[in-house]
Amino acid sequence: MGLTGPEHGPPALASGRWVERLDGVVNDISELCGQRLRTNAAGFLGERAALVGRGRRGSVSVGGACRMVTAADGVLAVSLARTSDSEAVPAWLEFGDLAGGDVWAEVAAGVRDKPVAELLERAEWLGLAVGEAVRPPPPPEPCSLTDAGPAGSDRNLVLDVSSLWAGPLCGSLLGGFGFEVLKVEAPGRPDGARYGSPAFYERLNQGKQDTVIDLGSEEGRHRFMDLCRKSAVVVDGLRPRVWANWGIDRLEVAQSCGLVWISISGHGDGRAGFGDDAAVSGGLWLSDPDGGLPWFVGDAAADPVAGLVACRAAGKAMAAGRAGLVEVAMSQAVSWVRDGDDLSAPGAEVFRRGDHWVVSAEDEEQIVLAPRDGV
């Protein structure tokens, strides 16, 4: 709760049972792996903000790279996390060079009279991560599994080909349960999280071995396939077309190598997506009671949600002795956790008591805690 609401105002309560539902995923993982995880759902959701020292910012994401903007017929969450994203804005909105101007001012002005469908379509063409502030109906499951036959035996290796947060979290949790995790990066393209908080990067990647493999080369693909034959799990965050361009069929690899392939994406349809815009697409946002732009709920919440869901799916498949392709769309995982709740808390009151914010709801009072480190 401490990470939701206006930057200079009281925190806002995102009510409902979504955190409890995520705690259920945490408990399932603990049971599957025979030991407790290092923290609960709230700890996973808030640990990056705690390590980096960030707080709520209303309609600007906690990390600052995503913002809510108003289009002609809806609200979008636009992520400009990479330099290339800002450079693509003129093409997205069909105007000339930014010429050193304020990119966010240009985005706000440029989307105002354009329909959401057109903006989403053009964003997909350009690889921009953009989500719509909607409340989709919850899917029956948080991810999909395509069975690929029996799993190989006596495997203790996890290949982590992912980056940033969701995939590395999944790999980190598996490493905590005794698997050897090998982090695979491309030459000249290391995990972008290396350029962020060193403490948070270490949290997600501590204990992993590192290697560099050029999957664009025949030699690199041969090496990767040799590793797959020794692995129990592969975790990746690349879009399917990237693997297709390399001539790698993920389901075929899962079947031939007897492993669980975890594929994490923003939206499950080839669109780019990050934790904040995917969370908004999954319905995890709050309306501003004063009529302003919607607020983000938490810090890139779709990342830890998807990482936990992915780890549980891997654990279930391995416990059943099955190989397969598990596809985790971050927005779908969030929608499943939210379970149709609109997150509103009409009877809740938030007030100051000494040094703390306190929320009063349903005749109960609770101190609003700051985001905490997950350890």
For the chain, domains (ranges, CATH) are 138-271+296-338 (3.40.50.10540)
DSSP string, 157-201: EEEEE--TTHHHHHHHHHHHTT-EEEEEEBTTB--GGGGS-HHHH
pTM over 0.85? The answer is yes
Cα 294 → chain centroid: 19
pLDDT single digits (tens) 129-169: 999 999 999 999 999 999 999 999 999 999 999 999 999 99
Q: Looking at residue 133, what is its pLDDT?
A: 98
CA angle in degrees (0–180, nearest 5) for 159-164-167: 40
Q: Looking at residue 373, what is its pLDDT?
A: 64
Q: Which residues of the chain have pLDDT under 70?
A: 1, 99, 346-347, 363, 372-375
Q: Looking at residue 354, what is its pLDDT?
A: 79
Q: Give the ranges where the chain is alpha helix by DSSP (H).
A: 18-33, 41-52, 83-93, 103-111, 116-126, 166-176, 198-205, 218-228, 240-245, 250-257, 275-281, 302-319, 330-338
Q: Looking at residue 357, what is its pLDDT?
A: 77
Q: Looking at residue 375, what is its pLDDT?
A: 54
For tokens 């921009």, name the residue.
128
Strand order from edge to edge, sheet including 66-71: 66-71, 74-79, 129-132
Exposure string of 120-129, with b = 16+ CB inside 10 Å and e = fewer, is bebbbeeebb
Q: Which of 263, 266, 264 is nearest to 277 (CA)?
A: 266
d(CA 330, CA 302): 5
